[in-house]
Chain A
Amino acid sequence: MAVIRDIHPNDRERWEALFLEYGVFYETSFDRTVVDGVWAWLMDDAAEVRAFVAVDGDEVIGFTHYRPQPDTFTAASGWFLDDLFVDPAARGSGAATALIEAVAEYATAHGGGTLRWITADDNERAQRVYDRIATKATWVTYEREC
């Protein structure tokens, strides 16, 4: 069973390997600047993005990036989970659920509100996990480059 904890400077190598693999899944190849920039955010207590890692024995097998956001519908705090990835070799171990639960626990202790995330409509494996712990909303998401 995976243990969840805050990311630590010593996790750099494994986090990077998993982050790159996450990028492959989303057909995104990260250049050095992106990887270094995101890592710097994660190591900076003043940056909004935080991370938890899932650890099995000595091995980091998954990560999630999350951040607080204001919720205008409640005029209170809200949360967004940007990224979640578990090593394919460790799928089915409950690590993804444990990572989300850790974020939910942290968020509850820091103002609560709604924890929101998105996933591709064809990512059925992820949806099977998410459907057990959260509610699928009916929002349509639009994106436009600046």
Chain B
Amino acid sequence: MTLTVRALSVTDRDRWRELYEGYCDFYSKPLSDERAEIVFTWLMDADHELECIVAELDGQVVGLAHFREFARPIAGGRAMFLDDLFTAPEARGTGAATTLIEALREIGKERGLVMIRWLTADDNVAAQRVYDKLASKTNMLTYDLEL
């Protein structure tokens, strides 16, 4: 079993959709055709800030990470936000999520970014077990104002 990471390609579209659908279902935010089309277009657009890397296990795409850079005034530099991370259920426990986050860290280093930030649901215990080994859980609370 060999895990590799590479940038999303236009030919990954169907598999990307399957995986992203799994992610959206997990968060009870069903993926409409329209939303899938817009997000995939963002990912393929070099001028759009959102990017995607995928993890391959023996040639099959089993995970995805959507990420982007953001300006972080308090650090006087740029950082990375990991918006979405998903591993196919059949590939859980293979280290795909960890490999994706490590790859993002490498990308961040190359680009001179100060840190990576991401969120997860407070009841997503499985994800937190993985993340606790890789990162620090902050004491930050999130506020949302729906406009």
Looking at chain A, what size class is its interface with the partner chain?
35 or more
CA A72 – CA B119 in complex, angstroms?
13
Interface string of A19-36 (1 = CB under 8 A from B): 000110010101101110
List residues of chain B with CB within 8 A of the CB of A83.
73-74
Residues of B34-78 contacting chain A, CB below 8 A: 34-35, 38-39, 42, 48-50, 66, 68, 70-77
Closest chain B CB from A142 CB (angstroms): 4
CA A121 – CA B140 in complex, angstroms?
6
Asked if A119 contacts B141 (CB within 8 A), the reply is yes
Question: Chain A: interface secondary structure?
Answer: mixed
Asked if B39 contacts A75 (CB within 8 A), the reply is yes
Interface-side segment among A52-60, A87-95, A110-118:
A110-118
Asked if A142 contacts B143 (CB within 8 A), the reply is no
List residues of chain A with CB within 8 A of the CB of B136.
142-144
Asked if A141 contacts B145 (CB within 8 A), the reply is no
Closest chain A CB from B36 CB (angstroms): 8
List residues of chain A with CB within 8 A of the CB of B21.
none
Knowing A140-B119, A144-B116 touch, does A118 contact B143 (C-beta < 8 A)? Answer: yes
Can you list 22 pairs linking A and B with CB atoms under 8 Å apart?
A: A26-B74, A33-B76, A34-B75, A34-B77, A48-B71, A69-B68, A72-B84, A76-B38, A80-B70, A104-B147, A115-B144, A115-B147, A116-B144, A138-B121, A141-B118, A142-B120, A144-B101, A144-B134, A145-B114, A146-B105, A146-B109, A146-B114
Chain A residues near B (Cβ < 8 Å): 22-23, 26, 28, 30-31, 33-35, 37-38, 41, 47-49, 65, 67, 69-70, 72-76, 79-80, 82-83, 100, 104, 107-108, 112-122, 127, 130, 133-146
